[in-house]
């Protein structure tokens, strides 16, 4: 049985899907631990959740690109006696440009934030969930993990495919210990993501029906992990795209991916 007030840790909680998860969980009676780099935004969100939902909210700023960040975060939880019941691995971003046009330290930080840190957080927090017989883990992946890789943002789809496979194995290993694991796979979502990567103007060329709100993504994700869904693609349009990509020949989908990449991505290619 879940505790009366589950404690949820949300990474990348300062904006977008992470902030929407924090608001949704607080409204459902959860207490929260919020982490991201932007302290001011975290503090403002924490106060909002305390005022509106009487939630107990702890702010623990962290840069998950730092190899020591996850251990320090978990030590801070232990020092406060906080036992995490829900883990929302949401922190992420994109790196525009072709692979060789971007310095390796930038790629290295990306891999640490989107792949290494989520895995380490699960590894450190999962034993407590298994011991208590209750836990929920949502790894925020993407529709990009189900479709062919694109030109530019080279590691993005790869990192999301990794999260999907990681979640599947975790779900199989823990389904009989009261721990549900779900890879949440949204498509285009209204957030700051494309502003940060400098592709907002390009993204504005996409038709409106391709987009979802962060709140809709979160509601679907919450329902999916509670149902025990291991992988959940949000939105009917995105589910159709996933199904279509599985039916079409690889050669055609790769051609289509290359064509669309040049329409909607800032490739940042070296001259």
Q: Please identify every residue annotated as catalytic.
A: 156
Residues 6+ apart with CB under 8 A from 119: 166
* 52's tokens: 């509106």
User: CA-CA distance, 243 to 225, in Å (whole number)?
Assistant: 21
DSSP code per residue over 47-59: HHHHHHH---EEE
User: CA-CA distance, 261 to 251, in Å (whole number)?
Assistant: 15
Q: What is the CA radius of gyration of the chain?
A: 18
Whether the Cβ atoms of residue 160 and residue 141 lie closer than 8 Å to each other: yes
Neighbours of 101 (CB within 10 A): 15
Beta bridge partners of 256: none
Whether the Cβ atoms of residue 155 and residue 95 lie closer than 8 Å to each other: yes
Phi, psi of 128 (to 5 degrees): -65, -40
The length of the chain is: 271
Phi, psi of 98 (to 5 degrees): -70, 160
């Amino acid at each position: 049985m879940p505790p009366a007030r589950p404690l949820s840790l949300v990474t990348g909680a300062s904006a977008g899907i992470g902030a929407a998860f924090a608001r949704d969980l607080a409204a459902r009676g959860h207490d929260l631990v919020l982490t991201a780099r932007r302290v001011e935004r975290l503090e403002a969100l924490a106060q909002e959740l305390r005022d509106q939902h009487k939630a107990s909210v702890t702010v623990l700023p962290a840069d998950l690109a730092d190899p020591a960040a996850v251990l320090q975060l978990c030590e801070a939880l232990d020092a406060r006696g906080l036992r995490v019941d829900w883990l929302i691995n949401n922190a992420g971003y994109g790196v525009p440009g072709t692979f060789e046009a971007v310095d390796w330290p930038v790629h290295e930080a990306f891999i640490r934030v989107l792949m290494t840190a989520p895995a380490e957080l699960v590894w450190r927090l999962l034993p407590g969930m298994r011991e208590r017989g209750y836990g929920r883990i949502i790894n925020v992946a993407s529709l990009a993990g189900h479709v062919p890789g694109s030109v530019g943002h080279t590691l993005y789809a790869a990192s999301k495919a990794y999260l999907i496979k990681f979640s599947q194995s975790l779900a199989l290993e823990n389904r009989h210990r009261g721990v549900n694991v779900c890879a949440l796979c949204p498509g285009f979502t209204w957030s700051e993501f494309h502003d940060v990567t400098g592709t907002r103007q390009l993204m504005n060329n996409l038709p409106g029906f391709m987009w979802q709100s962060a709140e809709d993504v979160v509601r679907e994700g919450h329902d999916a992990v509670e149902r025990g869904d291991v992988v959940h693609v949000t939105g009917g349009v995105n589910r159709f795209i996933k199904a279509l990509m599985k039916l079409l020949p690889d050669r055609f989908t790769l051609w289509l991916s290359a064509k669309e990449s040049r329409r909607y991505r800032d490739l940042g290619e070296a001259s």
